Chain A
Amino acid sequence: MRRILILTVLLAVILVYSGQLVVYTYDSMTAGLAKKIETIFEKKYGIDVKFVSFGDAGNIISRILLEGKRTQADVILGLDQNLLLKAVEKGILFPYKPKNVSKVRKELLYKGDFYAVPFDYGAIAVVYNTETVKNPPKSFEDLLKPEYRRKIVVEDPRTSSTGLAFLLWTIAVYGDSFKDYWKKLKDNLLTVTAGWDEAFEMLESGEADMMVSYLTDSAYSHYYYGTGKYMPTVFKEGMFAQVEYVGICRFTDDLDAAKKFIDFMLSDEVQKLIPLNQWMLPVVNVDLPEVFEKYVPKVEKYVTIDPKKVEKNMEGWLKEWEKIMIGY
């Protein structure tokens, strides 16, 4: 009797999931962009799609590693550069070169084998309170000025993806001497927070005047709440982009549908939805909404780090950072 029951359940699970494209993604995606594109995709291709999330993007990889071959994931949506490296290293992605990939901004593509393609990107930026900071920093060197002493808050690169991106940004700008830069920056930092939320609270409560956040912050706050007292600033050394990727899970049982989904993510239709849902920039050339034109500063120059270098050195860099900030 029990066996029959188990078999029935198994069968039911298989029936429910077959013919359905399952996309693993991070939590906030399911409430925003995913809702919008779900119906469009289903209408366009006649394929049922389901978005599943387990918290942040890091959890997606852990989950697939634990599930192994039994995973339901067909597509992985929303890995940033660092997580993409991990996903490739752990061998959970299936390479695919989308048909429409030529439209994508070249510098955003993952080097090598098309394990994943970018679907949006956005610069991280130092954001300041316009009421208290009258003379905002315009470069990393400015950030060291004595006038900002203990006014800046950054996220901990060990626990926050924004914090990690900021650390990588300083490495992209300063190379190996990033350590010297952090030693100096330390004096101007008020503290380091576990995540973006806490840092934002510090800004809101007037505890800190500047934090590491995103270039679209001001646009966002104007759009939703009609005000914006925090402004991002563009650094002359070059900005650092967080790029988000979409890729096919190696264990997919519907490769065709998965490929269609990747092509779909790069279509103008989806890319147009990126700005106001993801608060990031589209990777292909589409018109931007007015609030972006008005409140998102233009970036002339981006800096990057070779992914191979990141892969090799990440743990070492984090330990160096620990040494500088903790002292041992």
Chain B
Amino acid sequence: MGKDNDRVLMGLFAPLFYFFLFLILPISFLVAKFSIADVFQVAFEYKKLIVYNIFQAILSASLATFIGVLISYYLSRKNIRGVLRNLIHVTAKISFVVPGVSMAIGFYLLLGRNGLINEFLGLFGLHVDILYTFLAVILGHAFYNIPVSVYVVGSVWERLDGNLIEASYVDGCRDLQTFFKVELPLLLPSIISSFLLAFIYSFTSFAVVLIIGGPKYSTLEVVIYMYLKNLLNFKVALALTFVQLFIIASAATVSSYLMKGNVPFGEPKRKKASAFDYTILFFLISFVLLPLALSLISGFLNKGANKSVHELIEMGLNFIGVPFWKIITTSLSIAALAAFISTAVGTITSRMSSKGYRILRLFPFIPTAFSTVTLAFGYLMISLKFNISSAYLLPFLHSLLSIPLVHGIIEMGWRNVDRSIEEAAMMDGSGFWTMLFKIHLPLLKSFLIRAFTFSMAISLSDLSGVLVLSNESIFTLSKVIYRLMSSRHVPEAKVFNTMLLLIVMFIYYIGEMKTQNE
């Protein structure tokens, strides 16, 4: 028994140590002198904006979760196989990491006044204004967060024991009844988890909300940015950050009370997909796919420059002065390291939180309350205080950025580990490590792979952290794109941006192939 207690303590201590070192410590260096009174004062001043912000995030998260669950349904319960299935998985997940600017292009080309939809409607003499409305904000956030839902809900649904569904059919239940009576209760923890993530990401949305909605729909994050970067008023910026932290922590806590229960794993039951199913699925996927495809293509079309893609790449590399292979290897090694750290930490936090240790369900969500720039400046302080090159801290910062998602994905895995198998193994006298390598890791494999790839993608797309912490010898793809863009080398920047997206898609694709090989 003593050994078990030790393990619980380790399980709590190790992740809490990580959060202390890489979240609390850096933030504590930044906390300028501000009082609780300041927090209340700014919260009061921006109360309308905050209320609207919460309302917007709830609606966005609802739509994202709804569509995400529908897509997960087709991927889990219909027999869509092979390359197509992987492709859907990949595209359904990529939007989450697409930088604001490239997404903007996609939205304009699809929904804009000369966009695809209006071109089409124009044939019938019609025109719709979708952008710059509240609806656009909700749609845009849904677009961004559908991947989260497909990841979290889909991972569980795909492994739901088919015999349960079979039994329900035998009892005379039809599809819809089976869904509400059997599947939904089992999927509820994952649906709540994905809703929470979508809520948090919609709540802290920044560039997207302005691009597709306009200033009317500004979030608290925009105001924080103004105080932090524009007015250099750290006091108000941090007070507002704590308001944000309070809202996110409340949401995470509420959700932790709603998430209960285990899900029986087993061989999934898949029905043959009909032509109708394919049509619906394509309609849903096109929601994500169309803006994305348009954005990708526009990178290679480079309007406004009479140059070929090849020439633009060469011009870009010349301007930056760093060889291509170096950029790619730097980006990928930082991403892999970050993914390794976050997957390791996330595996422990999610294990403990699935066992009911709520503190480890709360902590993984706290980083989302802080903007990346704030966190990065905190890391900078660490590097100064302890004389460490700030670049070494970059993978840790990136791991922190992806912890909420990684935790959310792997937690679903843990909830599906059959306790009876664990007990049987314990009876057989299996030790901790045997259990870990022979039982847990194989069962969690697909969740771990997906968490790892998602984490890599988040690291690859980060810019603010890289800018603050890296130095002249460290060039990631996102930094290259930023430097080209801010030096007004727009066509070159767009080509590199498209390359970044293709790399992320490739990583996802490999990950999906690996999960299918089980």
Point out residues on A near B: beta carbons under 8 Å.
6, 9-10, 13, 26-28, 30-32, 35, 51-56, 58-59, 61-63, 65-67, 70, 86, 90, 156-159, 164, 190-195, 197-198, 200-202, 204-207, 220-221, 224-227, 229, 279, 314-315, 318, 322, 325-328
Instruction: State whether A67 touches B207 (Cβ < 8 A).
Output: no
Q: Bound state CA distance, A200 and B304, in angstroms?
A: 11
Please pick, from B211, B222, B303, B319, the residue contacting A31 in the complex, using a CB distance under 8 A: B319
Instruction: Give chain B residues whose Cβ lies under 8 Å from the Cβ of A191.
Output: 131-132, 210-211, 213-215
B255 within 8 A of A: no
Beta-carbon contacts under 8 Å, B53-95 to A: none
Instruction: Give chain B residues whose Cβ lies under 8 Å from the Cβ of A328.
Output: 48-49
Interface size on B, residues (CB 8 A): 61
Known: A201-B108, A204-B303. A318 touches B321 (CB 8 A): no
Beta-carbon contacts under 8 Å, B359-383 to A: 373, 377, 380-381
Known: A55-B467, A156-B222. A164 touches B230 (CB 8 A): yes
Q: Bound state CA distance, A191 and B213, in angstroms?
A: 8
Q: Bound state CA distance, A238 and B231, in angstroms?
A: 26
Instruction: Give chain B residues whose Cβ lies under 8 Å from the Cβ of A59.
Output: 229, 373, 467-468
Instruction: State whether A52 touches B491 (Cβ < 8 A).
Output: no
Instruction: State whether B231 touches A197 (Cβ < 8 A).
Output: no
Q: Bound state CA distance, A318 and B218, in angstroms?
A: 14
B225 within 8 A of A: yes
Instruction: State whether B467 touches A205 (Cβ < 8 A).
Output: no
Scoring B residues 383 to 423 as 1 if CB is less than 8 Å from chain A, else 0, what string do you get?
A: 01001000000000000000000000000000000000000
Q: Bound state CA distance, A227 and B304, in angstroms?
A: 7
| Stretch of B7-15, B169-177, B478-486, B502-510 that contacts chain A | B478-486
Scoring B residues 112 to 137 as 1 if CB is less than 8 Å from chain A, else 0, what string do you get?
A: 11110000000000000001100000
Q: Which residue of chain A has the shortest Cβ distance to B486 in the bound complex?
A: A28
Known: A32-B487, A205-B105, A205-B112. A194 touches B211 (CB 8 A): yes
Instruction: Give chain A residues whose Cβ lies under 8 Å from the Cβ of B181.
Output: none
Point out residues on B near A: beta carbons under 8 Å.
48-49, 100-101, 104-105, 108-109, 112-115, 131-132, 206-207, 210-211, 213-216, 218, 222-223, 225-226, 229-233, 298, 303-307, 319-321, 373, 377, 380-381, 384, 387, 464, 467-468, 471-472, 482-483, 485-491
Shortest C-beta distance, A168 to chain B (Å), equals 12
Q: Bound state CA distance, A195 and B131, in angstroms?
A: 18
* 25 A-B pairs with C-beta separation under 8 A: A10-B387, A31-B321, A32-B487, A52-B472, A55-B467, A58-B230, A59-B229, A66-B377, A158-B226, A159-B222, A159-B226, A190-B132, A191-B210, A194-B206, A198-B210, A198-B211, A206-B108, A207-B113, A225-B305, A229-B304, A314-B231, A318-B230, A322-B215, A322-B218, A328-B48
Shortest C-beta distance, B302 to chain A (Å), equals 9
Instruction: State whether A224 touches B384 (Cβ < 8 A).
Output: no
Instruction: Give chain B residues whose Cβ lies under 8 Å from the Cβ of A6.
Output: 387
Instruction: State whether B380 touches A63 (Cβ < 8 A).
Output: yes
Shortest C-beta distance, A223 to chain B (Å), equals 11
Known: A67-B384, A164-B230, A193-B211. A200 touches B490 (CB 8 A): yes
Q: Bound state CA distance, A197 and B109, in angstroms?
A: 16
Instruction: State whether B216 touches A198 (Cβ < 8 A).
Output: no
Please pick, from B213, B468, B485, the residue contacting A197 in the complex, using a CB distance under 8 A: B485
Top 5 A-B pairs ranked by shortest CB distance?
Answer: A55-B467, A158-B226, A225-B305, A28-B487, A205-B108
Instruction: Give chain B residues whose Cβ lies under 8 Å from the Cβ of A200.
Output: 490
Shortest C-beta distance, A159 to chain B (Å), equals 5
Instruction: State whether A31 touches B304 (Cβ < 8 A).
Output: no
Shortest C-beta distance, B377 to chain A (Å), equals 6
Instruction: State whether B231 touches A31 (Cβ < 8 A).
Output: no
Instruction: State whether A202 touches B104 (Cβ < 8 A).
Output: yes
Shortest C-beta distance, B48 to chain A (Å), equals 5
Given contact pairs A53-B472, A225-B307, enumerate 18 new A-B contacts (beta carbons under 8 Å). Answer: A28-B483, A30-B483, A31-B487, A52-B472, A56-B486, A59-B373, A62-B232, A63-B380, A66-B384, A70-B384, A156-B215, A158-B226, A191-B132, A197-B101, A205-B298, A224-B305, A226-B306, A229-B304
Q: Bound state CA distance, A18 and B310, in angstroms?
A: 42
Shortest C-beta distance, B203 to chain A (Å), equals 17
Instruction: State whether B232 touches A86 (Cβ < 8 A).
Output: yes
Instruction: Give chain B residues whose Cβ lies under 8 Å from the Cβ of A204.
Output: 105, 303-304, 490
Instruction: State whether A27 touches B211 (Cβ < 8 A).
Output: no
Instruction: State whether A27 touches B387 (Cβ < 8 A).
Output: no
Instruction: State whether B489 touches A224 (Cβ < 8 A).
Output: yes
Q: Which of B115, B232, B380, B468 has the most CB of A within 10 A?
A: B232
Instruction: Give chain B residues whose Cβ lies under 8 Å from the Cβ of A31.
Output: 319-321, 483, 487
Instruction: State whether B210 touches A194 (Cβ < 8 A).
Output: yes
Q: Which residue of chain A has the shortest Cβ distance to B102 in the bound complex?
A: A201
Shortest C-beta distance, A85 to chain B (Å), equals 10
Instruction: Give chain B residues whose Cβ lies under 8 Å from the Cβ of A221.
Output: 304
Instruction: Give chain A residues whose Cβ lies under 8 Å from the Cβ of B207.
Output: 193-195, 198
Known: A31-B321, A31-B483, A318-B231. A66 touches B381 (CB 8 A): yes
Instruction: Give chain B residues whose Cβ lies under 8 Å from the Cβ of A30.
Output: 472, 483
Q: Bound state CA distance, A51 and B471, in angstroms?
A: 10
Q: Bound state CA distance, A61 and B377, in angstroms?
A: 12
Known: A193-B210, A326-B215, A328-B48. A90 touches B468 (CB 8 A): no
Instruction: State whether A62 touches B377 (Cβ < 8 A).
Output: yes
Q: Which residue of chain A has the shortest Cβ distance to B298 in the bound complex?
A: A205
Shortest C-beta distance, B487 to chain A (Å), equals 4
Instruction: Give chain A residues whose Cβ lies under 8 Å from the Cβ of B101.
Output: 197-198, 201
Q: Bound state CA distance, A195 and B373, in angstroms?
A: 16
Q: Bound state CA distance, A221 and B304, in angstroms?
A: 8
Instruction: State whether A58 touches B229 (Cβ < 8 A).
Output: yes
Instruction: Give chain A residues whose Cβ lies under 8 Å from the Cβ of B485.
Output: 197
Instruction: Give chain A residues whose Cβ lies under 8 Å from the Cβ of B216.
Output: 325-327
Q: Bound state CA distance, A216 and B471, in angstroms?
A: 30
Instruction: Give chain A residues whose Cβ lies under 8 Å from the Cβ of B229.
Output: 56, 58-59, 62, 159
Q: Bound state CA distance, A147 and B115, in angstroms?
A: 21
Q: Which residue of chain B has the shortest Cβ distance to A35 in the bound complex?
A: B321
Instruction: Give chain B residues whose Cβ lies under 8 Å from the Cβ of A207.
Output: 108, 112-115, 131
